[in-house]
Structure 1
């Protein structure tokens, strides 16, 4: 049974936790689909924290690992700019 909540509109994360023997690679694919389906009105870090609180009771579950990695990678700023940010003479 699919469980749909605002932070998991398609129930993808819920379903991932129901699949026995799911791999981390499969969880990453599900995560990408989830990220693309998250509504524009939802903050990704807030949604990830809520999903981890709701489903992440087992930190060794591959989906818990992927959600945690996603949360940490979002919180880590990346260099922006490149050639466009350089001043032109």
Structure 2
């Protein structure tokens, strides 16, 4: 299957066709999609477009795509706090 600029390998489209796909499988597919996205494509805009195109409520891939839009904020811990568990 041939994809387009948003989904070059058609991974996301294929994930929505798989019955009974698990959340973990969707996350693995998402990672492969993210690594194959062209550098010229803005990831957040691509995610929004893919959600608009495929976003089926209740599907695990919809959840993964929605989570992908949210930035992960991590605080740097320095000094003694960084060395303590």
Q: TM-score range by the shorter chain?
A: 0.7 to 0.9
The alignment yields a C-alpha RMSD, in angstroms, of: 1.7
Q: Gapped runs of 5+ residues in structure 2?
A: 80-85
Q: Gapped runs of 5+ residues in structure 1?
A: 84-89
Q: Who is 1:47 aligned against?
A: 46
Superimposed CA distance per residue, residues 11-60 of structure 1 (whole angstroms, 9 cap, x where no aligned partner): 0000000000000000000000000000000000000000000000x221
Aligned residues: 79
Separation in structure 1 between the aligned mates of residue 21 and residue 3 of structure 2, nearest angstrom:
20
Q: Who is 2:10 aligned against?
A: 11
Divergent runs of 4+, >6 A:
none
